[in-house]
Amino acid sequence: MKTGSAIVQSLLIAAVTFSGSAHAQDAANGKKVYRRVCMTCHYLPKENKNWFGPSLHGIVNHRSADNPDFIYSTAMKNMNIIWTEDNLDRFLKRPEAVLPSTKMDFAGVSKPEDRSDVIAYLKDN
């Protein structure tokens, strides 16, 4: 629980300091990013269809770890946040930095535009 609230706190700080770039979100590029880096683990078109990771259908502004058919890490289960765009941005930059013991074994998306675009694509799905 203690770690959970520390994570929430750091996410909140990140949300406040998030600069909100002038970059216009491009869902078409986001789809490419998704296909290149997320699709090996995540299914998107429907809820409750899980691969190595949980389905990402409707994930934007949805509660974290809310997929009943997926077994999350304890860390992610305890995180208990809403996947706002800012929280997604911070998590996708470096999952391990936000949640050191996450099961999402993925280095992150380093380019801010790519993160913003993939989030735009997720919003549409």
Residues found near ligand HEC in the complex (CB under 6 A) = 37-38, 40-42, 52-54, 56, 59, 64-67, 72-73, 75-76, 83, 88, 92, 102-106, 109, 118
Q: How far is CA 119 from CA 3, 4, 34, 49, 124, in A?
A: 26, 24, 9, 20, 9
Residues 71, 59, 62, 112: what is their CA dihedral angle, to the nearest 10 degrees? 110
Given the complex with ligand HEC, which of 7 and 65 has the nearer CB atom?
65
The rounded distance, in Å, linking the Cα atoms of 35 and 21 is 24
Rounded least distance, CB 88 to ligand HEC, Å: 6
Given the complex with ligand HEC, which of 9 and 35 has the nearer CB atom?
35
Rounded least distance, CB 1 to ligand HEC, Å: 17
Given the complex with ligand HEC, which of 83 and 85 has the nearer CB atom?
83
Rounded least distance, CB 9 to ligand HEC, Å: 18
By the 8 A CB rule, do 114 and 29 touch? Answer: yes
Given the complex with ligand HEC, which of 20 and 68 has the nearer CB atom?
68
Read off the amino acid at residue 34: Y
The rounded distance, in Å, linking the Cα atoms of 7 and 63 is 15
Rounded least distance, CB 22 to ligand HEC, Å: 22
